[in-house]
Copies of this chain bind each other. A is one copy, B any other.
Amino acid sequence: MQGQAQQQAYDRGITIFSPDGRLYQVEYAREAVKRGTASVGVRTPEGVVLAADKRSRSPLMEPTSVEKLHKADTHIGLASAGHVADARQLIDFARRQAQVNRLRYGEPIGIETLTKNVTDHIQQYTQVGGARPFGVALLIGGVENGTPRLYETDPSGTPYEWKAVSIGAERGDLQEYLEENYSDDLTLDEGLGLALRAIASTNDDQLDAQGVDVATVSAETEEYVQLTNDEVESYITENDLEPTDEDDEDAAEEEE
């Protein structure tokens, strides 16, 4: 790590290399990702689970307004963490890519193909001047020819494929939790439980159905399905994650 004076030198112009070969604007965009609440993805043989912590800042804000899960196509879901307005741009981009694929080739876009389209787009913003990188990470989960796939995109434009992964706040702890608790033969329901428990693990093992979005793409149906509040509720109960009555606004307040 370098001193503050040197860092200042790098953030004035376009995205350029520092003497030790790093792209500071990209690293700072990663900080923007960490400022967002966490999203978690879990891949099981039966399908992919996406779950997102969406604790609202205010009781008057519509929970749907902080939606962090999005349908990219019938068979693909997206979860985001970081700068919300940037996330919306990438999600729109992904949807258009999926549509274009159906129009051109008459078939659903592959999960890996979509991911690479998105990361190519992101990379451009890190190399060509006149714009800043995207301050957002995405999880792209879906089923391709019956096989569940789960990808991550980061602000540098690198695609990663995962069995289970988290993006956003407290990634370190969440990733550790996933590594300790993941196994290759989870059912989709067990995967869903794992995702919820992972998010709860950073909140005294408690979750409010209003404060979490959950969606699945099952290998069987190949359909993106977002769970209703009641369904989430029952999974929370099942996993023993009901909130106690402390006000969970405290946690939300730390966010941007």
Contact = CB atoms under 8 A, between A and B. Distances in A.
A7 B19 CA distance: 8
A19 B11 CA distance: 8
Interface residues of A, number: 76
A85 B157 contact: yes
In the complex, the count of this chain's copies comes to 7
Interface in A52-93: 58-62, 64-66, 83-86, 88-89, 92
A35 interface: yes
Contacts of A182: 60
Given A85-B123, A88-B119, 11 more contacts: A7-B19, A11-B19, A20-B31, A23-B32, A23-B132, A60-B178, A66-B160, A84-B158, A86-B123, A88-B116, A127-B132
Interface of A: 4, 6-25, 28-35, 58-62, 64-66, 83-86, 88-89, 92, 116, 119-120, 122-123, 125-135, 151, 156-165, 175, 178-179, 182, 256
9 contacts: A4-B6, A9-B11, A17-B28, A23-B32, A58-B162, A58-B179, A60-B175, A86-B123, A88-B119
